[in-house]
Amino acid sequence: MPAHPASDTRDRIQALVTVCVLAVVSLVIAFLGAAPARVSATELMGDERAPAERAFVVSHRGGGALAPENTIPAVTAAIDAGFDYLEVDIALTADRVPVLMHDKSVDRTTDGHGRIADLTLAEVQQLDAGSWFAAEYAGTPVPTFEEFLTVLAPSGRRAMLELKGEWDAAAGAALIETLRRHDLERRVAIVSFDPRALLTTSGASELAFRLLILRRLPRDIEQAVKGADARGIIVDWKAVARRPEVVAEMHELGLRVVVYTLNSDGEWKDTIAAGVDGIVTDEPGRLLEWQDAIASGDE
């Protein structure tokens, strides 16, 4: 029996509609299954600052002015004080477990001796990391990275994690996985002087926010930052003071500028005037009070 022309037209239209519906469904599925959006500079660090605008405060080495640096008491004190960011140093033991430690050796901040990279976690956990600061902290242990995150996660605070020593892809991937377990990928910045250390985390996370630490400003700052897969810099203030236009250049590129480590009113005044986004300091409490005074017109 011959097909009716109207029937053929309806069939073709129905087939076309079906193809279109399937295409839309496929796009929705692909969208829902896509990787989450990368953490933006604004999400993690707020809008870029204008000159004289308040900068965020980064408490150096946890709360190193309040308790033994890079220990849980220091971290807890910084959280309780309400600082914008906690900066801590992460180093690997001989058995590749990340712990909080700034120096290459444990000599300055513990009762032990030797390079952290030569000591196992079990050996590091036997050390007293508090007596050097004050008698009341005697027996304070060196915390693992996991122990630090257990305290940070429920606090709602943000952190900067400075990678110390030599990191490889396995260590970088393990660090990212630990952040994921604590749902902290979107609340931390991974920072380092070594762009190779930063890049160990690139393949493991589409979300991770990285900052490159610099003592001096390279001529091509954009290339240096992109080469480290970073979204900004933490830089010695002296370098910025010699080239203050770099702040506006970075902001034009959508990047952020944090300076280290400033502890006096005079330094803070010059830094704020330059429009930097954040300040790393050993005096976070005083910096908060100073900025509050400036905002209220008392300075």
pLDDT in tens, 119-135: 999 999 999 999 999 99
Q: What is the pLDDT of residue 10?
A: 55
pLDDT tens per residue, range 43-90: 999 999 999 999 999 999 999 999 999 999 999 999 999 999 999 999
Angle at CA 188, nearest 5°, toward 185 and 192?
115
200: helix, strand or coil:
coil
Domain boundaries, the chain: 1-34, 40-296
195: helix, strand or coil:
helix
pLDDT at 164 over 50: yes
**Residue 42 near residue 34, CB atoms below 8 Å:** no
pLDDT band at 175 (very low <50, low <70, confident <90, very high): very high
Structural tokens at position 157: 């605070």
pLDDT band at 4 (very low <50, low <70, confident <90, very high): low
Structural tokens at position 238: 């002296």
pLDDT at 142 over 70: yes
pLDDT at 282 over 90: yes
Q: From CA 63, how far away is CA 186, in angstroms rounded?
A: 22
Show the DSSP H helices in the chain as ranges.
Answer: 5-33, 41-45, 72-81, 121-124, 145-152, 169-181, 195-199, 221-227, 237-242, 245-252, 265-274, 284-296
Average pLDDT, the chain: 91
pLDDT band at 217 (very low <50, low <70, confident <90, very high): very high
40-296 topology per CATH = TIM Barrel (3.20.20)
20 alpha-carbon distance from chain centroid: 44
DSSP state of 68: S
Percent of the chain with pLDDT over 90: 85
Whole-prediction pTM value?
Answer: 0.87
